[in-house]
Amino acid sequence: MSMVLLSYTDLALAAVLVIALAALGVRMKLSLWKQLIIAASRTTVQLLLIGLVLKAVFANARLPWITLIAFFMLLAAGREVTARQKRRLAGFWGFGVGTGSMFVSSFTVTIFALLAIVGNTPWYAPQYAIPLLGMLLGNTMNGVALGINYLTQAAWEQRNIIEERLILGEDRTQAILDIRRESVRTGLIPIINSMAAAGIISLPGMMTGQILAGSPPVEAVKYQILIMFLIAAGTGFGTLVAVWLTSHRLFDARHRLRLDRLAGFVESS
């Protein structure tokens, strides 16, 4: 079965649905319609550009170029982690924690998968390395963002409780342990839901794409199971690292809660 090629007219017809949704948002006076149009525009431009870049990379598969693209993707994901945080760590720390945790998790899991599971030659072949890293970064980014957001918001709202626990003799780890556990749980909920629903409620994107491209369904399923397991591991490890680093940053060496390290902190709040 050959793959059905889409024209730009086909994409324009799909875009009409997004425009109709935005128009409905304007009529209902929803504040998100501008963000919807901007996000749709960014999706179009970014994916078209990455398509041209990947075409050039696939034609000249060299490790330095692939590494450069991988780090660019990592930095962009690190920015997105902090972009919509209600109370993020101030300064470079907000970007650094998100980027560092995704580097530890996504890059490690991707390299492990390429070397130990996929086993392609060369191991950094862009048709495997870049899509794998992209899927891991995208999903890890969501888990890390949710985990950090819950942690900082809960620490702000429960600051009196945390300080009381510190006064009673608990150290910084004990005082915020419950919040840390719930933060990790929050970060893992999306991937757990995705795995639980896969095959019954939804057909995941990679599997659907392979089937549409003509791959045998069973082979597409194998790849999708692999991807789901990798995403779960990457999201879990990334969220754990991000939550630990963020909670550590919220205290100083003397185990005092330092909410002034959050962006937008106001003493009187």
How buried is residue 30: exposed, middle or buried, by Cβ count under 10 Å (0-12/13-18/19+)?
middle
Nearby residues of 50 by Cβ (< 8 Å), 6 or more positions away: none
Residues 103 and 219 in one domain: yes
Please indicate, yes or no, if residue 269 is contained in any of the structural domains.
no
How buried is residue 98: exposed, middle or buried, by Cβ count under 10 Å (0-12/13-18/19+)?
buried
Residues 186 and 199 in one domain: yes
Domain C-terminal end among 20, 38, 60: 60
Residues 32 and 87 in one domain: no
Residues 202 and 119 in one domain: yes
Please indicate, yes or no, if residue 267 is contained in any of the structural domains.
no
Please tell me the distance from the alpha carbon of residue 50 to that of residue 55, in angstroms, as a whole number: 8
Please indicate, yes or no, if residue 69 is contained in any of the structural domains.
yes
Residues 116 and 20 in one domain: no
* 156-189 burial code (b ≥16 CB/10 A, e <16): bebeeebeebbeeeeebeebbeebbeebbebbbe
Please tell me the distance from the alpha carbon of residue 117 to that of residue 119, in angstroms, as a whole number: 6
Residues 18 and 96 in one domain: no
Name the H helices within 84-125: 92-102, 108-112
Please indicate, yes or no, if residue 251 is contained in any of the structural domains.
yes
42-76 residue pLDDT tens:
999 988 888 888 788 778 778 888 888 889 889 98
Please tell me the distance from the alpha carbon of residue 110 to that of residue 195, in angstroms, as a whole number: 19
- What pLDDT is recorded for position 185? 94
Residues 51 and 73 in one domain: no
194-227 residue pLDDT tens:
888 887 776 677 777 777 777 788 888 888 888 8
Start-to-end CA distance of the chain, whole Å, equals: 63
Please indicate, yes or no, if residue 122 is contained in any of the structural domains.
yes
Residues 1 and 82 in one domain: no
Domain C-terminal end among 60, 90, 107: 60
- Nearest Cα to 236, choosing from 148, 143, 112? 143
255 backbone φψ class: left, alpha, beta (φ>0; ψ -120 to 50): left
* C-alpha R_g of the chain: 21
Please indicate, yes or no, if residue 268 is contained in any of the structural domains.
no
Supply the range of the domain harboring residue 160: 63-261
Q: What is the model's pTM? A: 0.79
Q: Is 268 a residue whose pLDDT tops 70?
A: no
Tokens of 180: 């840390």
Domain C-terminal end among 32, 60, 88: 60
Residues 93 and 50 in one domain: no
Please tell me the distance from the alpha carbon of residue 61 to that of residue 124, in angstroms, as a whole number: 8
For 52-61, 146-155, 239-248, which range has the lowest pLDDT when averaged over its residues? Answer: 52-61
Please state, for a pLDDT cut of 90, what percent of the chain lies above it.
Answer: 26
Residues 251 and 164 in one domain: yes
Residues 183 and 74 in one domain: yes
Please indicate, yes or no, if residue 78 is contained in any of the structural domains.
yes
Report the domain count for the chain: 2
Residues 124 and 21 in one domain: no
Tokens of 44: 């179009």
Please indicate, yes or no, if residue 256 is contained in any of the structural domains.
yes
Mean pLDDT of the chain: 85
Please tell me the distance from the alpha carbon of residue 7 to that of residue 185, in angstroms, as a whole number: 42
91-120 residue pLDDT tens:
888 888 889 998 888 888 999 999 988 888
